[in-house]
Amino acid sequence: MHRLTSAPRLILGVLLLLSAHLAAAQTSAPTNSRPPHDEAMLAAIAKAQASFDKFLALSSKPPKGSGNYMVKIEVTTGDRIRRVWVNEVQKTPEGFTGLAFAAIDDPEQELVANEQVVFRRGDITDWMYTRNNRQVGGYTICAALAKHPPAARREQMKMYRLDCK
């Protein structure tokens, strides 16, 4: 995959948007956990995992006009779950490695930008990339946005160039 040498405003905007939405959605849940009954989020994760092979194939030979390939993983430390966007994903015999890009819910900043992380396929909860200046993937972002009023959802999708289909 390709390393992000500078974070595009579009990607950072989407990640910041998701951070705010996830934090707001989880105010009644235990710290750093996803409500187990959130069917839309579970379906989004299942969709991302089911289509991950296609994502890997594209990222290994990116089509013209595409870039910023990254995956979101869950990192568990004790009873804490952190969601982290990772780029420069490489397949290894044991799973995958990549560089931490943006931690969504890591208030103690335990992971730093460009820190290498090791993860398994089952840790992957989402993936996304840009194609012709539009976001592709980002299923959990779309699931989070679906909980918002239609006008606000449309505005956010337009602003961050999301295709939530």
| pLDDT tens per residue, range 54-71 | 999 999 999 999 999 999
Q: What tokens does 16 get?
A: 């910041």
Q: In this predicted structure, what is the pLDDT of residue 20?
A: 45
- For residue 127, what are the β-bridge partners? 71
Residue 73, judged by CB atoms within 10 A of its CB (0-12, 13-18, 19+), counts as buried
Give every CB contact of residue 10 below 8 A, 6+ residues apart in sequence.
130, 133, 135, 160, 161
Identify whether 2 is part of a domain: no
Give the predicted TM-score (pTM) of the model.
0.75
Quote helix, strand, coil % in the chain, to nearest 5: 35, 30, 35
> Span 130-139, mean pLDDT?
93
Identify whether 161 is part of a domain: no
Identify whether 157 is part of a domain: no
Does the pLDDT of residue 36 top 60, yes or no? no
Identify whether 154 is part of a domain: no
Q: CB 101: neighbour CB atoms within 10 A?
A: 25
Share of the chain above pLDDT 90, in %: 49
Identify whether 4 is part of a domain: no
φ, ψ for residue 6, nearest 5 deg = -145, 135
Q: What tokens does 123 get?
A: 């840790």
Per-residue confidence band for 162, with pLDDT thresholds at 50, 70 and 90 = confident
Identify whether 21 is part of a domain: yes
Domain that holds residue 87: 9-149
- For residue 69, what are the β-bridge partners? none
Identify whether 38 is part of a domain: yes
Does the pLDDT of residue 31 top 80, yes or no? no
Identify whether 160 is part of a domain: no
Q: Assess contact for 85 and 101: CB atoms under 8 A.
A: yes
Q: Into how many domains does the chain fold?
A: 1
